[in-house]
Amino acid sequence: MRILFLLVIPVMFVSCGKKDDKNLEEKTHRELVVENENLERRATLLENDLARKQEFYTAVEGTYEGTFMAGEKEFKTRMTLIPSLPPYTSNRIRTLEEVTADLNNLSFSLQTTHWNAKGTAVASGCIFSEIKPDYDNGQIAVAAENCANVYKVSLFDSSDRNGDGPIKTSEVLQKSRVISKKILNKDIKEVNEIHVVIQPTLVAKTFVAILRRVQP
């Protein structure tokens, strides 16, 4: 009986050890499955957020032109906005890292050019990069150390205005908010006008221009 008892005990320990290993393996597998599902769910949410923001970039990108007065002189101005990334159109489900990278890198490049409306060949301007818009207010603030002007760009629509009177700041903000919301809700595919406030760094006076789309 002593010999039989000694033989059975090791077998029981081996059997219990195998069962514990299997339980641990199954638990680890379940945890990995849950973790992957959570990562995929977060990636999907971020992908939807990215697609929504891309609606803004697609609607705003393009070239706009208009004029503004500086004293007795009339100047023409041109602004071109270019997104850093195209919309993602593949059916492949991307990783969380891929989508996060696109969200972080999505921005505008903006080029401004000003010249005398009488047709002089002399022009001035600046190029800005990595500009992030304010989606809630439909505005883009632009400044750089190497540029003589600071710009505030607002989405705009003058089609419902009566007369050519001064445009109040509150009206600009109200319109830009409405337009931005419509873009993000896919009710507007393209912006046709932008309201631009130009603040020279060496002059106290600000200048205002309504620019209209000239190129898609």
Tell me the C-alpha to C-alpha distance, in Å, between residue 101 and each of 49, 89, 104, 135, 196.
Answer: 13, 16, 5, 19, 30
Look at residue 37 in the predicted model and tell me its pLDDT.
Answer: 66
Is the pLDDT confidence value at 24 over 70?
no
pLDDT tens-place string over residues 172-198: 999 999 999 999 999 999 999 999 999
Q: Rounded to an integer, what distance in angstroms lies between the CA atom of residue 1 and that of residue 100?
A: 68
CB 1: neighbour CB atoms within 10 A?
5
CA distance 209 to 204: 17
Q: What confidence tens digit (pLDDT) does each residue in 129-159 have?
A: 999 999 999 999 999 989 999 999 999 999 8
Do 151 and 197 touch, CB atoms closer than 8 A? yes
- How many angstroms from the chain centroid is the CA of residue 207? 27
At 28-73, the pLDDT tens digits run: 766 666 666 676 778 789 999 999 999 999 999 999 999 999 888 8
Q: Within its chain, how far is the Cα of 36 from the centroid? A: 27
Q: What is the pLDDT of residue 11?
A: 47
**What pLDDT is stored for residue 9 in this prediction?**
45
Q: How confident is the model at residue 42, as a pLDDT?
A: 83
Tell me, what's the pLDDT at 83? 98
Q: Which tokens in the block code for residue 135?
A: 């989606």
Domains and CATH numbers, the chain: 41-215 (2.40.128)
pLDDT value, residue 32: 66
Strands (E), the chain: 62-70, 73-83, 108-116, 123-131, 139-142, 149-156, 193-200, 207-215
- With a cut of 90, say whether residue 162 has pLDDT above it: no
Q: How many CA atoms lie within 13 A of 81 on its CB side?
A: 32
What span, in angstroms and rounded, lies between the C-alpha atoms of 209 and 199? 11
pTM of full prediction above 0.85: no
Spatial separation of the C-alpha atoms in residues 136 and 89, rounded to whole Å: 25
| pLDDT range class, residue 15, cuts 50, 70, 90 | low
Q: What is the pLDDT of residues 86-125, one digit of tens each?
A: 999 988 888 889 999 999 999 999 999 999 988 767 788 9
